[in-house]
A and B are shown apart, each in its own frame.
Chain A
Amino acid sequence: MRTVHDIAILDAVGKSFDVGKIRNDFPILKQRINGKPLVYLDNAATSQKPQAVIDAMTRFYVEENSNIHRGVHTLSDKATQSYEAARVKIQKFINAASPQEIIFVRGTTEGVNLVARSYGAVHLAAGDEVIISAMEHHSNIVPWQLVCAERGAGLRIIPMSDEGELDLKAYEKLFSTKTRLVSIGHVSNALGTINPVKEMIRIAHEQGVPVLIDGAQAVPHMPVDVRDLDCDFYVFSGHKMFGPTGIGILYGKRKLLEAMPPYQGGGDMIKSVTFEKTIYNDLPHKFEAGTPNISGGVGLGAAVDYLGRIEVEGAMAHEREVLRYATSALAGVSGLRVIGTARQKTGVVSFVLDGIHPHDIGTILDDDGIAIRTGHHCAQPVMQRFGIPATARASFALYNTVQEVDALVAGIHHAVKVFS
């Protein structure tokens, strides 16, 4: 918990954060859409990329492209060094104990599937239980349903309040001798709720149960220290944190990863292969079969470097201010209801508007150059919980401004006018 004193310091530091300068780093933000300046408020779906990331990937293809590992020629060595250097950057970024605990995957979805398949294969038996929450993205529901159905295990769901906060008392009661794993989102993509994952991990560990955290919506907005959290697995995607698509990270504690069977078989994940016996490679390569997304890894490393150059507390203070401004401005729109009003939130504002379906809002806002997402946000159980088919969602990144919130509000009034 931050104290009042902390917040005052952050605000003072926040003044040094220059959002105009940050915006210049993202070339796409200069675009016009339908003749209007682009107002990009779909960051929870994917973030835009700074020039530094685009340049790093171009440079890789222009100067270093080659396949990694086992190559004796110069380019292969350069490519391997760039790829492995990215792994170390990511290790430091989340404060993992070793680069061997950093597994490159395609994204958060593959990270969850890897753990569900590999950890589940060893640890889930008939009657066992996995705890997830009522606000999970489909990617942290369906992999567990698949493995549970296969092994005769079941899911237990942590309920949430009308504000979109998890019920920790109910959570504690879900544990039994059959609980094998907890898998929860750090931040809800549909509601913006920041879950008290450190406390939830502590509770699970008291019961001897390991915890996977889906950090896809957290890493772009706050420092994450996996050792401080003491999570057993942490997964996230590169493309939501200003890196490229198709690359993401599974962090796992070494002793857990070492005890898990491989997820996919192929090249690079073995030490030796004969038809009689195959010996698997060491971490992290055991889980990285086949030629990986090398340029993606390099790009993600560049995104980590980019974030490292940003004044973090200032960026966080700025994002909080944009959220506060947006929440207050949208509250002034007649007939608008915000879905997800947790006390701790990132910059996500999901809303519904009387008499106008989210899809129509989305189309009309697009005409004004404003990009938001409409629909169920791959979180249908969240929609069911609130008794709505869909929401309109504006989600902010560190480059968004209060002027863009003003444009959003004007766009919503435009939608109301079209339908009046």
Chain B
Amino acid sequence: MSALRELYQEVILDHNKSPRNFRTMAHADRRVEGYNPLCGDHYTIYLKIDGDVIADVSFEGKGCAISKASASVMSSVVKGKSKAEAELLFEKFHHLVTGEPDATDHIENLGKLAAFSGVSEFPARVKCATLAWHTLHAALASEEAVVSTE
């Protein structure tokens, strides 16, 4: 498979075309904006937190296929996870897209996130893939109801 096919896998094209959890959330516990000023990608991530668990997550915004698909897949995989589990997934995802040596060791445990394995061949696109995750991380870390990363 060519590097380009590896990048634009079916899962990514599908989530770009039909993003999951793509909606404004009324009465969210956390609302954080993620913005990449270099390319103009801009997303808002909404969370409902129940104790230590991410009870619900949604997002809205605009950007390239990689950033939008990443936000969509992320929203599907972190729903119902504890904060610590979500952070661990971010760590594994980050290793995967930056091509860390041990990245592929756990690829079978990454589920749908494995679709982003091709990103590591495109260093300029790593920031697209991680924008939503950085935003989620900021939302989980914040005690405020509404914060912005910018």
Contacts and interface: CB of A to CB of B under 8 A. Distances in A.
Interface of A: 356-360, 363-364, 367, 374-376, 383, 389-390, 418-419
Which residue among A357, A374, A418 has the maximum number of chain B CB atoms within 10 Å of its CB? A357
A390 B65 contact: no
Nearest to B5: A418
A359 B125 contact: yes
A419 B65 contact: yes
Nearest to B3: A367
A358 B64 CA distance: 7
Interface in B38-92: 38-42, 62-66
A90 to B, nearest CB: 33
Contacts of B64: 357-360
Sorted from nearest, which 5 A-B pairs have the closest CB atoms?
Answer: A389-B40, A357-B64, A359-B64, A367-B4, A390-B40
Contact of B7 (A363, A376, A383, A390): A363
6 contacts: A358-B39, A359-B125, A363-B7, A374-B39, A389-B42, A419-B13
A376 B40 contact: yes
Interface in B1-40: 2-4, 7-8, 13, 16-17, 38-40
B128 interface: yes
Contacts of A374: 39
A375 B41 CA distance: 10
Contacts of B13: 418-419
Contacts of A359: 39, 64, 66, 125, 128
A189 B40 CA distance: 18
B137 to A, nearest CB: 22
Contacts of B2: 367
A292 B124 CA distance: 33
Given A357-B64, A360-B66, A364-B4, A389 B41 contact: yes
Nearest to A375: B39
A389 B39 CA distance: 7
Interface residues of B, number: 22
Given A363-B122, A363-B125, A419-B16, 18 more contacts: A356-B65, A357-B63, A357-B65, A359-B39, A359-B64, A359-B128, A360-B66, A363-B4, A363-B7, A367-B3, A367-B4, A375-B39, A376-B39, A383-B40, A389-B63, A390-B40, A419-B8, A419-B17
Contacts of B17: 419
B65 A360 contact: yes
A205 to B, nearest CB: 38
Contacts of B8: 360, 364, 418-419
B128 to A, nearest CB: 7
B129 to A, nearest CB: 11
Which residue among B7, B39, B66 has the maximum number of chain A CB atoms within 10 Å of its CB? B39
A332 B75 CA distance: 38
Contacts of A389: 39-42, 62-63
B4 A390 contact: no
Which residue among A360, A375, A390 has the maximum number of chain B CB atoms within 10 Å of its CB? A360
A353 to B, nearest CB: 12
A354 B128 CA distance: 19
Contacts of B63: 357, 389
B38 A418 contact: no
A359 B41 CA distance: 10
A374 B66 CA distance: 15
A374 B39 CA distance: 8
Given A389-B40, A390-B39, A390-B40, A418 B128 contact: no
Contacts of A418: 4, 8, 13
Contacts of B41: 389
A356 B7 CA distance: 15
Contacts of B66: 359-360
Contacts of B65: 356-357, 360, 419
A389 B63 CA distance: 8
A360 B41 CA distance: 12
